[in-house]
């Protein structure tokens, strides 16, 4: 129980892990096009992380079988890379978590494949903005509910929904730590943010219902999820250092 703030030395290591995760997403940009498979994206991400001296935190995590998560269209999160070929009009989230020197850097973003619909574009920009507004709500001695409140307000105002049961988390010496960082909430409620600890902000934004269907991943206790109505879902994720004066985003592109 409880959160131990990071030392300056640990913050440096966390910053490096996060830089590698963000650089991996940048590196993938030129490859994620019509015709590539999610397995190929997965291998490219792993190769890049290795050249940077990092490992994928996902492989073997609760039995998870791949290096990254690749969530296409109606897949909400934890999509497992396979031989699926990306096609014109798809949207995909690639979620990368690097592990180096004992620290984890966790980030994800959407990629548009070929020409996507205006509706898909709007959903993607809403998810990006929802994350960024959530981050901007971080204040010293603030609460996770401050983040969720701003996220959910923006998303519902745009006519979309947020996933309630899955969300952000503490990250640092472990992949998933306290606190849970929901994509909805009330100002001043939830758990208190701790200066010099990292959290992720990673709202999942759905076109339609916030209900989802859960699927098993063979050999793993991790699940993946589809929207219950088959409509699109989008997500962006940053790892953020909470400071004594505000915050610092560690996974900027």
Least gap, CB of 188 to ligand MF3 (angstroms): 25
Binder among 90, 146, 150, 202 for ligand MF3 (CB under 6 A): 202
Least gap, CB of 89 to ligand MF3 (angstroms): 25
The Cβ-side half-sphere exposure at 105, using a 13 Å CA radius, reads 27
Pick the stretch among 8-16, 24-32, 58-66, 138-146 that binds ligand MF3 (CB under 6 A): 58-66
177 binds ligand MF3 (CB under 6 A): no
d(C-alpha 31, C-alpha 164), whole Å: 32
58 binds ligand MF3 (CB under 6 A): yes
61 binds ligand MF3 (CB under 6 A): yes
- Say which residues have a Cβ less than 8 Å from residue 74's Cβ, sequence separation at least 6: 226, 227, 230, 231, 232, 233
Binder among 78, 109, 131, 197 for ligand MF3 (CB under 6 A): 78
Residues near Co ion (CB under 5 A) are 95, 106, 108, 200, 237
CB environment 205-221: b (16+ within 10 A), e (fewer) = bbbbebebeeeebeebe
Binder among 237, 238, 247, 250 for ligand MF3 (CB under 6 A): 237
Q: Is 159 exposed, middle or buried (0-12, 13-18, 19+ CB in 10 A)?
A: exposed
DSSP state of 14: H
d(C-alpha 114, C-alpha 99), whole Å: 32
Joined together, the tokens standing for residue 126 give 């809403």
| Residue 78 binding partner per list ligand MF3, Co ion, none, with a CB distance cut-off of 5 to 8 Å that depends on partner kind | ligand MF3
Least gap, CB of 131 to ligand MF3 (angstroms): 12
Binder among 95, 146, 177, 210 for ligand MF3 (CB under 6 A): 95
Binding residues for ligand MF3 (CB under 6 A)? 58, 61, 64, 69, 78, 95, 97, 106, 200, 202, 222, 237
């Amino acid at each position: 129980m409880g959160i131990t703030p990071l030392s300056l030395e640990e913050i440096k290591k966390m910053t490096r892990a996060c830089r590698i995760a963000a650089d991996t997403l940048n590196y993938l940009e030129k490859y994620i096009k019509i015709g590539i498979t999610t397995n190929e994206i997965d291998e490219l991400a792993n190769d890049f992380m290795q050249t940077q001296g990092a490992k994928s935190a996902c492989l073997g995590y609760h039995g998870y079988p791949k290096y990254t998560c690749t969530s296409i269209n109606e897949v909400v999160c934890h999509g497992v890379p396979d031989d699926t070929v990306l096609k014109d009009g798809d949207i995909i989230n690639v979620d990368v978590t690097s592990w180096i020197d004992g620290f984890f850097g966790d980030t994800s973003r959407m990629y548009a494949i070929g020409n996507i619909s205006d509706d898909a574009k709007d959903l993607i920009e809403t998810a990006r903005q929802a994350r960024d507004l959530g981050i901007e709500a971080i204040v010293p001695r603030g609460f996770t509910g401050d983040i969720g409140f701003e996220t959910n307000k923006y998303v519902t105002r745009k006519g979309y929904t947020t996933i309630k049961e899955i969300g952000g988390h503490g990250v640092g010496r472990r992949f998933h730590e306290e606190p849970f960082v929901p994509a909805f909430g009330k100002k001043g409620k939830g758990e208190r943010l701790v200066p010099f600890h990292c959290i992720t902000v990673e709202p999942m934004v759905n076109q339609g219902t916030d209900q989802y269907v859960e699927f098993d991943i063979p050999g793993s206790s991790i699940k993946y999820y589809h929207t219950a109505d088959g409509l699109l879902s989008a997500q962006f994720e940053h790892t953020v250092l909470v400071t004594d004066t505000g915050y610092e985003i560690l996974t900027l592109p």
